[in-house]
Amino acid sequence: MARRRDPARIDDAQREGTRQRLLGTGMLPQRVDELLAAWEVAPASQGLPRDGRYWDAAFDWIAAQRRLRRAP
């Protein structure tokens, strides 16, 4: 019997993948979690559907936030 796709589980897995990707860049876990939470509430994340593109955009947004923080 084939399992049905569960959008919530897929979203959770994609979020965790993005989290691990950010941790791999050397970010601290607490900061990653803070930025992911901020992304999820940032103007409804620009109305993007919660799919792989959503989490790719999250990674890019967080990278931009880090660059802004480092800028003089």
What pLDDT tens digit does each residue of the chain (72 aa) get?
567 788 999 999 999 999 999 999 999 999 999 999 999 987 666 788 888 899 999 999 999 988 887 766
Residue 66 lies in a domain: yes
Residue 37 lies in a domain: yes
Residue 40 lies in a domain: yes
pTM, rounded to two decimals = 0.82
Residue 63 lies in a domain: yes
Expressed as residue numbers, the domain containing 44 is 27-72
Phi, psi of 25 (to 5 degrees): -85, 0
Structure tokens at 16: 């965790």
Residue 12 lies in a domain: no
Structure tokens at 23: 């941790």
Residues 59 and 19: their CA atoms lie apart, in Å, by 9
Residue 6 lies in a domain: no
Tally the domains of the chain: 1
Residue 22 lies in a domain: no
